Every structure is written in structure tokens, then in C-alpha cells.
Structure 1
Amino acid sequence: MYLPPFFNAKDRASALTLMREHPFASLVSNDDTGLPFITHLPLVVDERAEGELVLLGHCAKPNPHWRYLQARPQAVVCFQGPHAYLSPTVYPDLTRVPTWNYLVVHCTVEATLIETPDAKDALLKRLIGDHEPAYAQQWRDLGQEFQHKMLAGIVGFELRVSALQCKLKLNQHRPESHAAMHAQYSAGSPDEQALAVWMQRLGIVAGAEAG
């Protein structure tokens, strides 16, 4: 993606935070005609030994995307964080224009399919653990016959991250806007409030603590 230096976040921790706070991602690879094919899905971020980063997910078996990954394992995953319009009223003068602020992570990945029932069950338990740990007992109580029927309807995959880009576009290059921008976002929509929190995390607002 287009990544100007002001917005190029090279801090891996920021990227991981964004990915975990916004796990509903877009998985992009090529179909059999050569066109991009996109599946929107939740992914689990798994940090392994020696800094290896793996994304865990699954799709419905009728979704042809897993076949495309099997044939062409390289893909891209996009995580979209909060985003919002920025009014030029945040500037102290009138010779300004509006913009849009946003936070995104792009990962280049290599896919490996997960097809055995035990491995798919473990993958689902990771997803349950992230989003509703209490459901784990209900899943166990459903019985093996029902579980195997459900597991037969999905194909899991591991997406090993080979490259990562994190773009945090928060008007960093316009410090004269920061105080008014933070005040405007703090009083705005949920996305705008989330951007205000990220301004604090990154120390963009004077006196704010990094988080």
C-alpha cells in the first residue's frame, strides 16, 4: 500500500494491538481466473517462537477460497481499524482541506490448510477463547457426533506472516491540528473516539501517555 514515512508505523506492538482489537479481516488472493477473491473473516493472531507470527482462521467448505489458497498459497490479509473524516476546522487558518484518518495493517502470508478434525477443533477453541471463553463448555457438551458434523463443514488454515505493513494515519505531519483534532474526535462517534485513544497511545497529543 501507499505508505508515506509519517504514517509508517514500524513498531510491531502497535500493529499487533490493532490486529487484536479489530480481528475481523479481509483475506485477499487470486481465484482461478486471476482476479482478486476476498473473504471477510475473524482471525486469531498467534505469536510463536523466535518472533514468528501466524494468523489462524477458517472458511465454510462451500467457499472456494480454500481451494485457491491450496493452489496459490501466497495471499494478503488486511486489518481495518477505526477511521473517520477530519474537518479542516481543526486548523488555525482557512487555507486547508479535509482529510480522512485511518489505521490499517497489511500482512503478506503463506497459507497452509488445516483439514483434520482435531486440528480444526483446536483452531475453533482458539477463536472461542478470544471472543467467548464461556462457550467452550457448551461446545464440549454438544457431543462428538455434532462436533464432527460442524467441523466437516469448514476448512481451517494457518497464515504465516512473511511481511507486515502498519499504516497509522493520524495527521502526524500537522502538529498544529492535534489539540483541536483530539478534542473533536473525543466528542465524536465511536470510531472517532477510538482514533482519539490512538492519538494518546502514540503520544501525538501533547502531554498524553503512550499506552
Structure 2
Amino acid sequence: MRHTPDYIVTDPEEVKRLIRSSPWATIVSNTAKGLVASHYPVVIEEDHEGISIVSHVGRPDDRALELGQHEVMVIIQGPHGYVSPGWYDGVPAVPTWNHVTAHLYGTPEILSDEENWRVLGDLVHHFEDAMPHPNLLEHNEEYGRSIMAGTVGFRLVVDRFEARAKLSQNKSDEVIENVIAELDHGENYSQPHLAAEMRRNHEK
């Protein structure tokens, strides 16, 4: 990840916030057969002192990724979007792409079947609890456990991370407000979630 001091994020709490809001992750593993990537949702273990995420992969992704055998990189991609130089009110500029991204590094720990069942249940709760009538694994445990047999649960305690929030920090207040307005409700390239992230960063 490019090291641009204005954009670097070093606060683990900000990385946790990003994972909570953008839990769809890309797992990248440098295997004996070359690079392999898979995509799964992850959740934070909130009681862990550092950053610890749990999830699962479907078999045989565990073997393809060589899960648990060495370090992997997990990419968390938050809000992102195109920024037009036309939004800069005549200030000389070129197109760019604003984004919030984190790379997490660590060696996955393979979970036991019972811990995998708990983690899968927590994962379902994480998303279903917002529904008017949550449909949870424990409501149909026999079927849920039969599906679980096709998965491998893992925990990744993050050894280190690289995170970047490129949100027009190097621009004037007027330009930032223009970009936020266009991303919020412009006719082209609107990205309200990115606008909200920019507004939050700008108001710090």
C-alpha cells in the first residue's frame, strides 16, 4: 500500500470501525501454487485487546488457501469512489479515487467444530439481528450443522496492519465541501457512504 503520510491510518480503533461497517473481506494467500484469493464476510471479536477477526471458508478453499499454514493478507475495502476534477471549481486538478482500505496480516488459527458453530451463529446474528424476524442457525440446528460440515472456521489475530483513508485531506475546505456535495447527491458518481466518511474525517 502506498505510504502517503496525509492518508495513513494508525489507530486500531479506526480499523475496527472500518471492519464493522465493511465486513466483506478478500483473503489473499501466497501458496505453493502461487497467489490465491477468496472472499468471505468477517466479524470482529469485540472482547479481544487487539484486532481479531473470525469467519469461515467453504471447503476446499481451506486447502487452496493453505489456511493455517502461514501468514495471509485480509483486505477490507470500505467506501470508495471516483472524484472528478470538475468538482474543484476551476482549481487545476486531475481525476482521482477516494477510498478507505485496510490490509490485515496474520496466520489464521483453525477452529474446532464447536467453535466454528459458535462463530457461524455469531456471524448470522450479526446480520440477521437487524431483520424484523431474524432467521438464526439455532432455529434449525440440524440443518445448520449439516451445512457447517462444508466449512472451516478460522480466527485471525492481526499481527500488523496497513490502512489508508484517502479523503481529499490535501484539498481546501471549499473543495472538500464541493466533493462531499457531489458524492452525496450529485447527478454523476454519487457515493453517499463515501461522502459520509469524508464528512466525518473533515469534521474531526
Deviation of the 1:88 alpha carbon: 0.8
What is residue 161 of structure 2 aligned with on the other side? 164
The 5 A counterparts of 1:92-103 are 92-103=89-100
Q: Which residue does 1:149 correspond to in 2?
A: 146
Of residues 60, 74, 86, the one that matches 1:62 is 60
Cα distance change of structure 1 residues 190 and 135 upon mapping to structure 2, 3 Å threshold: farther
Q: Which runs of 5+ in 2 are unaligned?
A: none
Q: Is the 8 A contact 2:76 2:102 kept in 1?
A: yes
Q: Is the 8 A contact 2:182 2:190 kept in 1?
A: no
Query: What TM-score, normalized by structure 2, do the two folds share?
Result: 0.88
Please, which of 45, 50, 53 is the counterpart of residue 51 of structure 2?
Answer: 53
**Which residue of structure 1 aligns with residue 199 of structure 2?**
200
Q: Is the 8 A contact 1:53 1:161 kept in 2?
A: yes
Mapped pair 1:90 → 2:87: yes
Summarize the Cα distance change of 1:169–1:131 in structure 2 as closer, same or farther, 3 Å threshold: same
Quote the Cα distance in structure 2 between the aligned partners of 1:167 and 1:32: 30
TM-score where L is the length of structure 1: 0.85
Is 1:122–2:118 an aligned residue pair? yes
The letter of the residue matching 1:69 is L
Cα RMSD after superposing both structures:
2.0
SS of the counterpart of 2:158? Answer: strand
- Does the 8 Å CA contact 1:48/1:54 hold for their aligned counterparts? no
Q: What percent of counterpart residues are identical?
A: 26
1:113-158 CA deviation, whole Å, 9 max, x = no partner? Answer: 0132x1111011110121003222xx223243x3332221111000
Unaligned residue ranges in structure 1 (runs of 5+): none
Partner in structure 2 of residue 185 of structure 1: 183
Task: Check conservation: 1:53, 1:160, Cα contact below 8 A.
Answer: yes
Alpha-carbon distance in 2 for matches of 1:143, 1:6? 49
- The 2-side partners of 1:54 and 1:98 are apart by 36
For 2:59 and 2:6, how far apart are their aligned partners in 1? 42
The offset of 1:109, in angstroms, is 1.6
Using the TM superposition, give the Cα deviation of residue 46 of structure 1 relative to its aligned residue in structure 2, in angstroms.
Answer: 1.2
- The count of residues paired between Structure 1 and Structure 2 equals 198
Alpha-carbon distance between aligned partners in 2 of 1:181 and 1:143, rounded to the nearest angstrom: 49
Q: Which amino acid aligns with 1:29?
A: S
Equivalent of residue 80 in structure 1, options 77, 97, 101 = 77
Partner of 2:20: 20
Counterpart AA for 1:68: E
